Amino acid sequence: MNMAVYGAVFLLLFLICTLGADVVTIDVHAAKGLIQSGYVYLDVRTVEEFQKGHVDATKIINIPYMLSTPKGMVKNPNFVKEVSSACNKQDHFIVGCKSGVRSQYATTDLLADGFKNVKDMEGGYMEWVKNKFHVKVSSDIEEL
């Protein structure tokens, strides 16, 4: 199979998974309001991305959905397990990444694992910054 066929198969599988998972995607304005009301913000970017700057949230967790390897980026095989260790399946949280792609995948996986109150933040950190919302760097974060 060539790369185009692999890409098409991957996209099809993603769409099938997304349709079955009922992912709720909200814009950054709604996400900001929910974060301010006490929702946990789950940042699924890499640790390096997170350290450069992240959403200003009182309750924030960084668990990468993708990991850098010598062969490139690969899905974190322990992602759902790590989230399950940090959050209860009944917790309310917003999932965000850089642009909104990884967070869609992550939200789909979490919903499939039984998390109920998970929302995907459309546009990710780039949209947060574009709207001039406050950001922090990891040296001034309070983690859960």
Rounded CA separation 20/15 (Å): 9
The DSSP call for residue 139 is: G
Q: How many CB atoms lie within 10 A of CB 95?
A: 31
pLDDT band at 142 (very low <50, low <70, confident <90, very high): very low
- Which residues of 30-84 form beta strands (DSSP E)? 40-43, 54-55, 60-62, 66-69, 72-75
pLDDT band for 3, please (50, 70, 90 cuts): low
Question: Considering the entire predicted model, what is its pTM?
Answer: 0.81
Q: What are phi and psi of 25, to 5 degrees?
A: -110, 130
SS3 content of the chain, % helix, strand, coil (to 5): 45, 25, 35
pLDDT of residue 139: 61
Give residue 14's pLDDT band: very low, low, confident or very high (50, 70, 90): low
Res 121 pLDDT > 60 = yes
Is residue 141's pLDDT more than 60?
Answer: no
- Amino acid found at 5: V
On average, the pLDDT of the chain sits at: 87
Residue 140 has pLDDT above 70, yes or no: no
What is the tens place of the pLDDT at every residue in 56-108? Answer: 999 999 999 999 999 899 999 999 999 999 999 999 999 999 999 999 999 99
Amino acid of residue 140: D
Which residue among the candidates 42, 83, 97, 111 is catalytic per the annotation?
Answer: 97
Q: Is 97 a catalytic residue?
A: yes
Residues 64, 98 contacting (CB under 8 angstroms): no
- Rounded mean pLDDT of 15-39? 84
